[in-house]
């Protein structure tokens, strides 16, 4: 079972202060890393259980009760350690998931603010053009022709300047760049969130499998009472079925994430 490095709360706070998404792992790299770790975890778990099953069967057939008890005690101690590790990993994953959701909402708000700024700018220029038109109307009501022409040329130049600032093509290109950049950042964050959710689901299923495993303690009581081989085989068989189902669900979750 693998353990990944997690951001502690202080690191998460530092990342939020930078207002940058440069720290996010490339989704493709993350997917390859998850696939590699998951494959190794499943292979190790399968080997560990086969060794456990073979050792227990051997000790039972050899009627080595004391060695069996000692082996089972050490086995379940190890399972308890794995259980605690899984709980810590799930807590860390939930913290990461909360952090990425906050970043996602933050980027949405930034994008909305950019759009609002563009609309405010357009409204400002519309008001300026309206004022210019009103001044032209005032000029048309009186004054000498030369004075009117001079002021008209001046106002016309002002209108041209405003039109240049409102160049639809330039404004559209600038806005498109901002939107595309923000869209890519949001998409990358959303993929990260989905991968983290799948990881939480996977660890939850493995946690359930460990809980089922702990119930096997009922098969091996601490007393000197003889253990029924038939009951033991049936319980071990059921536990193997649970592990197989968990592995199958993990593969389906990975395929959906891809």
Residue-by-residue DSSP string for 54-79? HHHHHHHHTT-HHHHHHHHHHHHHHH
pLDDT at 86 over 50: yes
Task: Write down the domain spans for the chain.
Answer: 26-228
Q: Which one has a higher pLDDT value, 164 or 108?
A: 108
Average pLDDT, the chain: 65
Lowest mean pLDDT among 129-133, 145-149, 151-155: 145-149
CB 66 within 8 A of CB 50: no
Q: Tell me if residue 64 falls in helix, strand or coil.
A: coil
Give the tokens for residue 241. Answer: 């079925």
- pLDDT at position 95: 85
Q: What is the pLDDT of residues 158-201, one digit of tens each?
A: 766 665 555 556 665 666 676 667 667 767 777 777 777 777 77
CB 237 within 8 A of CB 257: no
Q: Which residues are CB-contacts of 78 (< 8 A; sequence separation ≥ 6)?
A: none
Give just the sign of the alpha carbon dihedral 124, 125, 130, 136.
positive
> Would you call 206 exposed, middle or buried from its count of C-beta atoms within 10 A (0-12, 13-18, 19+)?
buried
3 DSSP 8-state letter: -
Q: Which one has a higher pLDDT value, 2 or 128?
A: 128
pLDDT at 252 over 80: no
89 closest CA partner among 193, 194, 5:
5
Q: Which one has a higher pLDDT value, 22 or 94?
A: 94
- pLDDT at position 43: 56
CB 227 within 8 A of CB 60: yes
């Amino acid at each position: 079972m693998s353990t990944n490095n997690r951001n502690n709360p202080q690191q998460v706070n530092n990342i939020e202060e930078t207002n940058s998404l440069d720290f996010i792992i490339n989704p493709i790299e993350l997917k390859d890393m998850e696939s590699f770790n998951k494959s190794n975890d499943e292979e190790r778990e399968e080997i560990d259980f086969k060794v456990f099953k073979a050792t227990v069967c051997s000790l039972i057939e050899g009627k080595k009760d004391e060695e069996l008890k000692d082996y089972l005690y050490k086995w379940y101690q190890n399972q308890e350690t794995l259980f605690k590790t899984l709980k810590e990993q799930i807590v860390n994953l939930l913290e990461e998931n909360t952090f990425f959701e906050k970043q996602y909402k933050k980027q949405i708000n930034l994008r909305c603010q950019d759009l609002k700024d563009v609309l405010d700018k357009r409204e400002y220029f519309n008001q300026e053009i309206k004022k210019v038109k009103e001044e032209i109307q005032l000029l048309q009501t009186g004054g000498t022709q030369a004075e009117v022409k001079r002021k008209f040329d001046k106002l016309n130049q002002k209108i041209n300047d405003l039109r240049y600032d409102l160049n639809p093509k330039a404004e559209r290109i600038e806005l498109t760049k901002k939107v595309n950049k923000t869209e890519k950042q949001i998409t990358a964050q959303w993929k990260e969130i989905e991968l983290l959710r799948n990881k939480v689901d996977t660890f939850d299923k493995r946690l359930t499998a460990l809980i089922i495993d702990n119930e096997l303690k009922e098969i091996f009581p601490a007393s000197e009472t003889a253990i029924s081989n038939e009951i033991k085989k049936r319980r071990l068989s059921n536990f193997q079925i649970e592990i197989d189902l968990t592995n199958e669900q993990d593969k389906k979750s990975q395929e959906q994430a891809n």
